Amino acid sequence: MCAGVLLAALASHVLPPGEYDRRDDPATGRRLVVAGTYHAVPPRPVGPFQALVAIPRGMADAASVIFFVFLIGGAFTVVDETGALRQGVDWLVRRLGRTEALVIPAASLAFALGGVLDNMKEEIIALIPVMLLLARRLGYRPVIAVAMSLGAAAVGAAFSPINPFQVGIAQQLAQLQVLSGSVFRLAFLAAALAMWIWGTVRYCVRTRTAPTGEAGPPTGTLDSRRSSVLVLVLAAFGALVLGVLRAGWGFNEMAALFFVMGVMAGLVGGLGVGGTAEAFVIGFRSMAYAALLIGFARAIYVTLDQGRIVDTIVHGLFTPVAHLPLALAALGMMLVHALVHVPVPSPTGHAVLTLPILVPIADLLGLSRQVTVLAYQYGGGLCELFTPTNGALVAILAAAQVRYEDWLRFALPLLLGLLALGASAIGVGVAIGLQ
């Protein structure tokens, strides 16, 4: 990211500065780029010290996103510290898993719900021992434990209509109403989960060995405290939906909601005031890297904007694709997101880095901003299934003692199918003019 800031500063000395005219759309309230108005402007190259100053400026510009990430990360760390997430998933898997045919669908849907609501990743590490014992007891390979947990959660997150870390932030950056297009996303979410569960079950049938008969480790029960915490989480998401749809909430309101949820969850879950505060601090610490990525990603844009070359880059990218069909241009965006996600594995940092550039291109092409967000979700989100820079994936594979190449051998065919499904969703979105 530091190299990106320096390259952006260097580019301001090389690329010709220019700008598009912009207009306010009264129907949507968005500020749109006006096609055919690109023109040269006086140069304003960025010096080395100005590039360094762009880093704190980027942090300040992205403050609402950064503090949203801090507060929601802290809140869900509090929930995790109460044991409610672990015990809730474990209870659901054991409750529905008594019939072997329901084990994989039940476990996968439980983890997928975590991905849909909370971009669940690191929280899964603590559940891997339980999932491993469950898989071995049924004669499944360890890779199935990863597929039922992280795999299902990643698919749920990528196709989610509500995930605040991915689609929520992306829609805010694209000046779209949060939760817009939810029915469309839900339809493809159902198809994606069905595809993943079918692939996992098919692999189990082909590779199953004799069950070991191991019993799962003793775990706590889902008592009234933990049940109340889970009810609080669901109530918070219900309030989020109402607040966004009825009151037009943004990052600050959503962050406040999750902060209140975290405090109440800690108190109800028995952590006390001190324990709740400590859990928030742990959550802030775990989110620090993601927050820095967001700030540095914004600093790159700040540097480009200060050098007056953002529209120059937009113009250069727009010209080659101006006469392509919209669906093909949207698929090109999906490919760009897949490539960017390898060096920038943070979903929020990825969104902050790419969407300020791609949204103006979409406006020039006449491409729906909603479809542009879909390209980000599917292109970047599905890469969580294989990106080696994804720390959670590497940690979970290590905990399950599954080699990376073995995981790829299982996941890659399904990943290609999911990418095809995402491409189909984008094509449908273009065809129906999804807004």
63-104 pLDDT per residue, tens? 988 898 899 889 988 988 998 877 777 776 666 555 667 888
Categorize the per-residue pLDDT at 210 as very low, low, confident or very high, splitting at 50, 70 and 90: low
Instruction: Decide if pLDDT at 14 tops 60.
Output: yes
Element (H, E) at 33: strand 31-33
Residue 120 scores a pLDDT above 90:
no
The region of weakest confidence among 62-76, 200-214, 267-281 is 200-214
7, 12, 15, 54, 305 from 44: Cα distances, Å: 15, 7, 11, 14, 10
Q: pLDDT at position 103, please?
A: 84
**Which pLDDT score, from 0 to 100, does residue 221 have?**
62
Distance CA 22, CA 433 (A): 22
**pLDDT over threshold 60, residue 206:** yes
Of 99 and 300, more confident? 300
**How far apart, in whole angstroms, are the C-alpha atoms of residue 426 and residue 428?**
5
pLDDT of residue 218: 46
Task: Give the pLDDT of residue 215.
Answer: 47
Per-residue pLDDT, 211: 65
User: How many whole angstroms separate alpha carbon 117 and alpha carbon 338?
Assistant: 22
Mean of the pLDDT values across residues 310-334? 87
User: Where is average pLDDT lowest: 155-169, 212-226, 246-260, 421-435?
Assistant: 212-226
Local structure of 167: helix, strand or coil: helix
Q: Which amino acid is at 358?
A: L
Q: Where are the domains of the chain?
A: 2-432
**pTM metric for this prediction:** 0.82
338 pLDDT exceeds 80? yes
Q: Give the integer Cα–Cα distance in Å for 74 and 57.
A: 24
Percentage of the chain modeled with pLDDT above 70 = 94
What is the pLDDT averaged over residues 52-62?
Answer: 92
pLDDT class of 57 with cuts at 50, 70, 90:
very high
Residue 39 host element (H or E): strand 39-40
- Cα separation, 126 vs 434, whole angstroms: 39
The percent of residues above 90 in pLDDT, for the chain, comes to 46
What does the pLDDT look like over 138-150, one tens digit per residue?
A: 888 999 999 999 9
Which amino acid is it at 408? L
**Least confident window among 26-30, 200-204, 401-405:** 26-30
pLDDT at 371: 95
* Predicted pLDDT at 328: 92
Task: Give me the pLDDT at residue 119, please.
Answer: 84
pLDDT at 97: 54
pLDDT at 138: 80
pLDDT at 429: 95
Name which of 55-59, 92-96, 259-263, 338-342 the model is least confident about: 92-96
Band of residue 246 on the pLDDT scale cut at 50, 70, 90: confident
The pLDDT mean for the chain works out to: 88
First to last CA, the chain: 32
Task: Find where tokens 């993601």 sit.
Answer: 290
Provide the pLDDT confidence category of residue 128 given band limits of 50, 70 and 90. confident
Residue 220 has pLDDT above 70, yes or no: no
Please compute, for residue 58, the number of CA atoms within 13 A of its CA located in the half-sphere on the CB side: 29
